[in-house]
Amino acid sequence: MTFAEIAARAENDPDAFWMDAARGLDWAKFPQTPHDRDGDVWFPDGEINTCHNAVDRHVAAGRGDTAALIYESPITGATATYSFADLQERVARTAGMLVAEGVERGDRVVIYMPMIPEAVFAMLACARIGAVHSVVFGGFAAPELAKRIDDCQPKLVLSASCGFEPGRTIAYKPLLDNALSRATHKPVATIVFQREELAADLMPGRDRDWAAAYDAADPVDCVTVKASDPLYILYTSGTTGTPKGVVRDNGGHATVLHWSMGAIYGVDTGDVYWAASDIGWVVGHSYIVYGPLLKGCATVLFEGKPIGTPDAGIFWQLVDKHDVKVLFTAPTAIRAIRRADPEGEFIDAASLDSLQALFLAGERADPDTLLWIAEKLGKPVIDHWWQTELGWPAIATCYGLGQTHIRAGSAGHAVPGYRFKVKDAGGQDMPAGAVGTLLIEQPLPPGAFRTLWNNPERFAAGFMDYPGHYTTGDAGKIDEDGFIHIMGRTDDIINVAGHRLSTGQMEEVVANHPQVVECAVVGAADELKGEMAVAFVVTKPGFADHEEAKYEIVTSIRGDIGPIAAPRAIYFVDGLPKTRSGKILRNLLRDIVNGADVVVPQTIEDPAVITHVQERAAG
């Protein structure tokens, strides 16, 4: 079948389409009902176990000796390959470790760990026993970790003694201790994996040593759960600064990830697939851990950076070393590689015979970057788009379905199962090529979120502006050939190197400085990271020590939110442009920092403020 025929079938008969996809998995009870429209639940009467499908069924099929997880840590020099049989043994015993601490089906477990195999074992172990994992990126600060602990109320927290960035070691245990002291909810225990580079002090009565607990545990089997039962909670930044706990189910999630590996990425059982991301983000959940293993691929777990560990050739060296068929990374990584290796000398030094395609996602892939890496690699470079809420690609060039035409600046066509619309503020459809609010028609396909943890009202609000549609929060357009173009956010979430961050949350931190009267934070286009925060700050009259204030503000943001949120610039201004009703014109500030034409609205309170702000930003 052609891509057009497959897409038409998914649109005209989605129930049959996704039931066929579900047959690619092992079910304890195969669903008879594809979709409960009243509750918007896919496979409501199905029963399954995600860990069984990602691990045990491959062993049962005689593939126990084939590679499942390839660990590369150029920062520490560690490397290891685990077969499916190895993975089964370690996951089963890790699950037993959780059971020994009283973790049961439906309990939550927070995983606050670096990119090490034990983190993957822990995720799969939770899935094995029906517990709900919530992975928190190890770079997040203690206040953010505390918020997530209070929201999901885990029975257990799993962590490690440290993580690594180029040139520095990050002690996780003090961050964890700080978070637990802040959190109202207190977990039963924490289990800490001690890394030899930096050991952590354990608190008697609360903290457990991972190695000892693991050695004492008995392996446990998979338990059957409902397809609609939650697999994980993944928190993403919200516009209010309060994290949103996106809930992913078991049955729909496993079905679409298994299907997407072949249909979108063009990989099959036995291939090596590498998503150079982090398990703290949705890409890591979907395409480091679950997607490749569900398909029976070997997946690469990489603890390093695209440059500096040790050089800008590490991606290409590892592609050759492990015969990687498809590589998936963020445009930020390619921009960093280009800056360090502008002539592509490291690329030329590699054979890359195994590599068939490079996929990009996380933020917009600007045409210049995409075309540069495509020319250097001589391989298809495919931009695609999705969100934490969706869980898997919604816009792509489906390489595995025979799509090959790529249009630089577009993320591709709607993936089968998704129906996109572009509407104006009044809800009217926009013509081809016109920019408006990008929406997805309901019901969303399997794998997309169906609720927010502890916050169904906030989930429902995402469907209120345009009834019958999911609001993506992005502005976009669909051209006459069906290519979808993402133009930018319509709210105050910015995308820094693939990390979605709330500028409203940053403003709260800036406003807490004792000398700050008022502030606004906006996203500025950045050649390397896609976007970075820029702050405009009004201080108390007579205050002049701006350099000291700048240092204190940056330090506070790094400590309260994380280093990734540190602003690129802080401009001290006499006032902020506002409407007569007092609303700060953030879109105008965004235009100023991005060098766009500034259109002064009629509703502005004091037009002279704009000139002053422009002068400060220019200086």
pLDDT digits over 17-54, tens only?
Answer: 999 999 999 999 999 999 999 989 999 999 999 999 99
Mean pLDDT on 2-24? 97
CA 114 to chain CA centroid, nearest Å: 15
Contact between 339 and 528 under an 8 Å Cβ cutoff? The reply is: yes
pTM of the full predicted structure? 0.88
Q: 238 pLDDT band (50/70/90 cuts)?
A: low
Number of folded domains that form the chain: 2
Concatenating the DSSP letter of every residue in 80-122 gives EEEEHHHHHHHHHHHHHHHHHTT--TT-EEEEE--SSHHHHHH
More confident residue, 140 or 81: 81
Token pair in block for residue 334? 């390619």
Mean pLDDT of the chain: 93
Q: Which residues pair with 532 in a beta bridge?
A: 524
Q: In this structure, is residue 445 part of a structural domain?
A: no
Q: Please compute the mean of the pLDDT values over residues 551-560 and round it to a whole number.
A: 94
Q: Cβ atoms within 10 A of the Cβ of 45, count? A: 16
- Report how far Cα 564 is from the mean position of its chain's Cα atoms: 14
Enter the tokens of residue 44.
Answer: 């409501």
φ and ψ at residue 27, rounded to 5 degrees: -115, 140
pLDDT at 440: 97
Bridge-based pairing state of the strands 225-226 and 47-48: antiparallel
Q: 3-class DSSP state for residue 52?
A: helix
Are 35 and 125 found together in one domain?
yes
Q: What percent of the chain has pLDDT over 90?
A: 76
Q: What is the mean pLDDT of residues 542-564?
A: 93
What's the distance, CA 450 to chain centroid?
17
To the nearest 10°, report the CA torsion of 87, 88, 89, 91: 80
Average pLDDT estimate for 89-114: 98
- Kindly report, residue by residue over 413-459, the tens digit of the pLDDT: 999 999 999 998 889 999 999 888 999 999 999 999 999 999 988 88
Of 449, 139, 115, 387, the residue nearest 275 (C-alpha): 115
Looking at the structure, tell me whether residues 428 and 532 fall in a common domain.
no
Q: Are 32 and 53 in contact, with CB atoms under 8 Å apart? A: no
Q: Per the domain annotation, does 319 fall within a domain? A: no
* 581 burial level (CB within 10 Å; 0-12, 13-18, 19+): exposed
Q: Which of 414, 438, 462 is the last residue of a domain?
A: 438
At 464-506, the pLDDT tens digits run: 789 999 999 888 899 999 999 987 777 677 888 888 787 877 8
> Based on C-alpha coordinates, what's the Rg of the chain?
24
Residue 13 and residue 109: Cα distance in Å, rounded? 38
Is the model more confident about 563 or about 580?
Answer: 563
Among all chains, which residue has been given the structure tokens 């007092």? 582
As a whole number, mean pLDDT of residues 372-380 equals 97
pLDDT of residue 40: 93
Same domain, 517 and 611: yes
The strand pairing partners of 471, in sequence order, are: 439
Question: What's the pLDDT band for 240 if we cut at 50, 70, 90?
Answer: low
Residues 214 and 284 in one domain: yes
Q: Kindly state whether residue 475 falls inside one of the protein's structural domains.
A: no
Token digits of residue 546: 């701006």
Q: Is 434 in the same domain as 522?
A: no
In this structure, which amino acid lies at residue 455?
N
| Percent of the chain scoring above 70 in pLDDT | 97
Note whether 87 and 71 are within 8 A (CB).
no
Locate tokens 């290409």: which residue?
316
Residue 581 domain-assigned? yes
Helix (H, G, I), strand (E, B) or coil at 18: helix
Pick from 12-16, 188-192, 236-240, 460-464: least confident: 236-240
Q: Is the pLDDT of residue 600 over 60?
A: yes
Three-class SS state of 181: helix
Rounded distance, CA 279 to CA 113, Å?
Answer: 9
Contacts of 64 (CB under 8 A, 6+ apart): 58, 83, 84, 85, 88
Confidence grade of residue 272 (pLDDT, cut at 50, 70, 90): very high
Instruction: Tell me, yes or no, whether 113 lies in a domain.
Output: yes
In the predicted model, what is the mean pLDDT of residues 315-339?
A: 94
Kindly report the CATH number assigned to the domain that includes residue 212.
3.40.50.12780
Residue 292 shares a structural domain with residue 174 = yes
Residue 234 CA to residue 238 CA, distance in Å, equals: 12
Q: Tell me the two tokens of residue 373.
A: 């890496």
Helix (H, G, I), strand (E, B) or coil at 32: coil
Q: How far apart are CA 516 and CA 539, in angstroms?
A: 4
State yes or no: cis peptide before 14, omega within 30 of 0.
Answer: no
Domain hosting 139: range is: 3-304+384-438
* Residue in this structure with the two tokens 């015969």, named with its chain if needed: 323
Task: Give the torsion sign (CA, 368, 369, 370, 375).
Answer: positive
What is the rounded average pLDDT of the residues 134-156?
92
Residue 509 — φ and ψ, nearest 5°? -65, -45
Please tell me whether residues 513 and 398 are part of one structural domain: no
Q: Residue 167: what pLDDT?
A: 86
Rounded to 5 degrees, φ, ψ at 597 are -65, 130
Helix, strand, or coil here: 275? Answer: strand
Q: Is residue 592 part of a domain?
A: yes
Of the two residues 505 and 202, the one the predictor is more confident about is 202
Q: Which residues face 538 on adjacent strands? A: 518
Q: Which of 11-15, 224-228, 596-600 has the lowest average pLDDT?
A: 596-600
Q: Are residue 429 and residue 504 in the same domain, yes or no? A: no
End-to-end CA distance of the chain: 58
Report the SS3 class of residue 420: strand
For 206, the enclosing helix (H) or strand (E) is none
pLDDT of residue 579: 67
Q: Higher model confidence: residue 612 or residue 322? A: 322
pLDDT band at 603 (very low <50, low <70, confident <90, very high): low
514 and 419 belong to one structural domain? no
- Within this chain, do residues 71 and 192 fall inside the same structural domain, yes or no? yes
